[in-house]
Structure 1
Amino acid sequence: MKYSTIHLAIFIERSNRFIARCRLIHTGEEIVTHVKNTGRSKELLLPSALVAVNHQPSDKRKTAYDLIAVKKGEMWINIDSQIPNALAAEGILAGDIKLPGLKGTINFLKREYTYERSKFDIYFETDQQEKGFVEVKGMTLENHGIGAFPDAPTLRGLKHVEELRLAQTMGYHSYVLFIVQFPTITAATIHRVMQPALYEAVKMAVADGVQVLAYNCEVDQETITIKGAVPFDLEQAFIDPNL
C-alpha cells in the first residue's frame, strides 16, 4: 500500500479522537489533520513527534490531510485503521498470509460479511468446500519489542471474538488476524491489563479451535507492506508504556 501525497510534519496536539494539529516541515504551515485511528496512541502522538500526513483535499472533507504514520525512535508505525483489512485480504489471496488448518485453496473471498449478529472482516471458501471467517485487527501499541492489542477497551472486538468462537463450533474455520503496523517485534499478545475480558474470551476461543495469527509489516512514511508471520503468545507479559 502506497499513499499518494505524503508530507512530513511535526505533531503539535490531538484536539480530540479525530483531529490533530501539526506543522508541515517544508513550509512551516500549521495544519489540521484527520487522525485515522480512534485508539489512544498516547505513546506515539507526543509533542514534536515526526509524523507523516497524506494530502487529500476535497470539498466533502473537513480537513485536507490524514495523519497516517508516526516515527517512534528509528521505527515508523502506521496508525491508519483502514489499512489492515485491505492488507489482510490482499495478503491472503496472494498467499503471503497463511491460514493454518485448511486442506484446500481459497477460491472465494468477500470482505465485510454478515454472520449472525456480527459483520466479520473476511469470509472465504476453498476448493475443498471449506468455509471460514477472518476478523482483522490492527496493532499499533508496542513496548520493548512486544506488540499488544488493544490500547483501549473494545466492546466490538470482544463481541467478534465471542462470535468467532460460535462460528468455529458450527463448523467454520475461524481466525483472528493481527496486522502489526510496525516492523520490529518479537511477539504479539493481548493487553490483558487493559481488557481482562478480551484476554479471557480469546483464551476460551483458542481452546475451542479459533486460531490467532499475527503478521508484521515493513513501514515507512509513505508505504506499508506485509512482512511475515510473528509469534502470538497469549501469556506474553506486556508493560504498557502509558500506565
Structure 2
Amino acid sequence: MKYSTIYLAIFLERSNRFIARCRLIDTEEEIIVHVKNTGRCKELLIPGVIVAVNHQPSAKRKTAYDLIAVKKGLMWINIDSQIPNALASEGLTTGTISLPGITGTLSLVKREVTYGHSKFDLYFETDQQEKGFVEVKGMTLENQGVGVFPDAPTLRGLKHVRELQHAQQLGYRCFVLFIVQFSQIRVATIHSEMQPALSEAIKQAKADGVQILAYNCEVDQETIALKEAVSFDLNQPFIDPNQGKVEKA
C-alpha cells in the first residue's frame, strides 16, 4: 500500500478525535489534518514529533490532508485505521497470511459480511467446504517490543469476539487477526488492564477454538506492507507508556 502525495510535518496539537494541527516541514505552513484513527494514540501524537500527512484535496472534504503515520524514535508507525482490512484481504488472497488448521485452498474472500448482530471484516470459503470469519484489528500501541490492543476500551471489539466464539461453536472456522502497523515487535497481546473483559473474552474464545493471529508490517512515511507472522501471548506483561497521563478535556 503506497500513499499518493506524502509530506512530512511537525505535529502540534490534536483538537479532537478527528482533527489535528500540524506544520509542514518544507514550507512551515500550519495545516489542519484529518486524523485517520479515533484511538487515543497519546504515546504517538506528542507535540513536536514528525508525522506523515497525505495531501488529498477535494471540494467534498473539510481538510486537505490526512495524518497517516507517526515517527516514534527511528520507527514509523502507521495509524491509518482503514489500512488493516485492506492488508488482511490482500494477504489472504495472495497467501501472505495463512490460516492455521485450514486444509483447503481459499476459493472466496469477501469483505464486511454480516453474521448475527455483527459485521465481520472478512468471510472465507475453501475448496474443502470450510467456511469462516476473520475479524481484523489494527495495532498501534507499543512499548519495549510488546504490541497491544486496544489503546482504548472497545465495546465493538468485545462484541465481535463473542460473536466469533458463537460462530466457532456452530462449525465456522474463526480468527482474530491483528495487523501490527509497525515493524519492531517481539510479541503481541491484549491490554488486559485497559479492558479486562476483552482479555477474558479472548481467553474463552480461544478455549472454544477461535485462533488469534498477528502479522507485523514494514512501514515508512509513504508505504506499509505486510511482513511476517509474530507471536501472540495473552499472558504477556505490558507496561503502558500512557499510564498516569492526564486525559485532555
**TM bucket normalised to smaller:** over 0.9
Instruction: Deviation per CA, 1:156-197: give whole Å up to 9, x if none.
Output: 000000000000000000000000000000000000000000
Rounded Cα–Cα distance in structure 1 between residues aligned with 2:193 and 2:167: 27
Q: What is the Cα deviation at residue 13 of structure 1?
A: 0.3
* TM score, norm. by length of structure 1: 1.00
> 2:180 is matched with which residue?
180
> 1:139 is matched with which residue?
139
1:124-203 alignment runs, 5 A limit: 124-203=124-203
1:237 aligns with 2:237: yes
1:76-155 alignment runs, 5 A limit: 76-155=76-155
Q: What one-letter code is carried by the residue in structure 2 that aligns with 1:58?
A: S
Rounded Cα–Cα distance in structure 2 between residues aligned with 1:22 and 1:145: 28
Give ranges in structure 1 of 5+ residues lacking alignment.
Answer: none
1:73 aligns with 2:86: no
Q: Alignment RMSD, CA only?
A: 0.3
Moved over 6 A (4+): none
1:206 aligns with 2:206: yes
Q: What one-letter code is carried by the residue in structure 1 that aligns with 2:104?
A: G
Instruction: Deviation per CA, 1:31-83: give whole Å up to 9, x if none.
Output: 00000000000000001000000000001000000000000000000000000
Q: What is the Cα deviation at residue 104 of structure 1?
A: 0.2
Instruction: Deviation per CA, 1:121-166: give whole Å up to 9, x if none.
Output: 0000000000000000000000000000000000000000000000
* TM score, norm. by length of structure 2: 0.97
Rounded Cα–Cα distance in structure 2 between residues aligned with 1:141 and 1:78: 11
Rounded Cα–Cα distance in structure 1 between residues aligned with 2:186 and 2:92: 22
What secondary structure does 1:91 align onto? Answer: helix
Rounded Cα–Cα distance in structure 2 between residues aligned with 1:109 and 1:41: 31
Q: What one-letter code is carried by the residue in structure 1 that aligns with 2:97?
A: I
What secondary structure does 1:31 align onto? Answer: strand
> 1:220 is matched with which residue?
220
Give ranges in structure 2 of 5+ residues lacking alignment.
Answer: 244-249
Instruction: Deviation per CA, 1:79-120: give whole Å up to 9, x if none.
Output: 000000000000011000010011100010100000111100
Q: What is the Cα deviation at residue 10 of structure 1?
A: 0.1
Rounded Cα–Cα distance in structure 2 between residues aligned with 1:184 and 1:240: 17
Rounded Cα–Cα distance in structure 2 between residues aligned with 1:215 and 1:103: 21
